[in-house]
Structure 1
């Protein structure tokens, strides 16, 4: 018989003790059946409950560990959460965990494609404290990603993290961008630099005037959009030239009105 641990909010403890664990999760594999995620009951407390610190980001901070036993030959899947799981038996899943180093074990999970009967549950214990990794395994010491997908609005400490590690990098100084444009030769580099100028107040339009005759129409098109950030008076001459460009996309970007066919 193989021992496993499932983590659930404390408010579910009475129902789980009475009726067992319902299959409410869907596997990351192609198997459409519902089941539960769990981990083997290991000698190491932190590795056994490694998912608790990450789970409390989305659930109640008060969680319990449900210990249950299932036959060794019970079909399950095992693997790292970022990869496709492998179908094995419960005993093989435990052996897989024990064959890994502590660093490799972080992020591993077992999926049982069914529920757990109340008679299979042996004990329900309150977690002393959440342990394990947060955001991703081995994230400690790395610069955190502050994008909305990684840090949910309203989470504890999110505002301070976004202040320390802003998701959007500060724009490069205007003079630095214009100086690089003067010597840039590659199409992609020029387009990136012009995009850095969009929506920012400009005055020295002569520093981008040479691009109005650039052989690549996409460069001329991006230039037309970038000129919106310049003073209308100083950019008028360049925009007028772009409105008469042979390429329609460039003319439209410069604001030319096209006749309907």
Structure 2
């Protein structure tokens, strides 16, 4: 078999890769320069949400994975591994071309800027889409409030506006201002099943944004009848 010689290094080889031996070919193939020297993200100082390019993530790792996935879309890149340690992101790239493999590594600085995310800002300014009006006796009110806080915590996992901006305590119950009308409507159904009571829903125009009418909802959950007494079902459920 006639020997071939690499035009770059002069080494004898049996197979060429783009007119080069395997070593010289792999030497010119590199993707680590796609990784920036500094990866910058923003983290909310109140809730811990991570912001990168107008997109929110629950964890720093989720944001870093999104950044790396956008950087490496080449078919030759088979796997990307990373590790976050001491304010740095260590990235390992596994490259495979034809029957050749190569690994590269680069360490980038992880720059984190502390901010107030838009959801925490909205909460701090008293933003709300719905008012949940609970009318009940004192003994039930405290139980309802605990349930409200529990359910809002659950709903906030899938609805970023599911937060309580403020609570007004009244003699016959309280008003809860909720950031998301969707969460408020889901919440009142849960409360009705658990504590019984009557629901009344009304709405009024809050504002118009880009030609779209935005309404604010008032949701009344009444646990007390016209004589100020609870029903047998309400008493039974409150004792559970």
Q: TM-score band, normalised by the shorter chain?
A: under 0.3
Q: Relative to total residues, which structure has the larger helix share, 1 or 2?
A: 1
Q: Which has the higher contact order (CA 8 A, sep 6+)?
A: 1
Please give the TM-score of this superposition, normalised by the length of structure 2.
Answer: 0.23
Q: Relative to total residues, which structure has the larger strand share, 1 or 2?
A: 2
